[in-house]
Amino acid sequence: MSQPSSENIFSQVAKHKIVPVIQIDDIHHAKPLADALVENGLPVAEVTFRTDVAAQAIKIMRESQPDLLVGAGTVLTTKQADAALAAGAMFAVAPGLNPNIVKYCQKIGLPMVSGINNPSQIEQALALGMTFVKFFPAEASGGIAMVKALLAPYRDIQMMPTGGISPANVKDYLSIDRVACCGGTWMVPGQLMKQGDWAALSHLIREAVALVE
């Protein structure tokens, strides 16, 4: 599978305004989840490498829904980066900024979104050629006030706040200039996946899409 440029993939992701952050524990959930996202108007996903089936889930999701923008989340090692790329992940996301992992992802052609929550980390990101970063954990790191404060001096940076984002605050984050999109879990709760309640999950996805339109 060909990999788009970082700039291109991040602009595609940002169009959807919200990125479902998903932990898949059961590989059998991958296809119905991919179908639910695409069919209900949110064709983007960040599948976290917090479970052993993450890479396999990404592969199934990409194959079953080729138009789905699937990224790999919680990419902390070069081994995980390799597995994500081999599975067809279109981008990688990390909770923090590890220059070694960033450089490795750049080397293998996997667009990377590193996590930051202070000025020094933003300057590290810029030094590595990154202008699209994840603000994490968003609410615990000062929320909207901190996002505005960090974006003010760094005019080239775009952010994806993640962590504590909910229907109650997502529109406030998205109203900030250069907040490209937000990551969240509320529209893809693990409990509904475990129950196989795809109708209820589809309803939450549609509600989330309508909220940020």
Q: Which of 15, 17, 39, 46 is catalytic?
A: 46
Q: Which of 134, 139, 194, 207 is catalytic?
A: 134
Is 17 catalytic? The answer is no
- CA dist 7 and 144 (Å) reads 25
Query: 190-193: long-range contacts (C-beta < 8 A, 24 or more apart)?
Result: 190/23, 190/25, 193/24, 193/25, 193/26, 193/29, 193/33
Is 46 catalytic? The answer is yes
DSSP state letters, 160-210: EEBSS--TTTHHHHHTSTTB--EEESTTS-HHHHHHT-HHHHHHHHHHHHH
Containing H/E element for 134?
Answer: strand 132-135
Determine contact, residues 140/147, Cβ cutoff 8 Å: no
DSSP state letters, 36-70: HHHHTT--EEEEETTSTTHHHHHHHHHHH-TT-EE
- CA dist 79 and 101 (Å) reads 10
Residues in contact with 151: Cβ distance below 8 Å, sequence separation at least 6, in sequence order = 157, 159, 176, 177, 178, 179
Q: Report the catalytic residues.
A: 46, 134
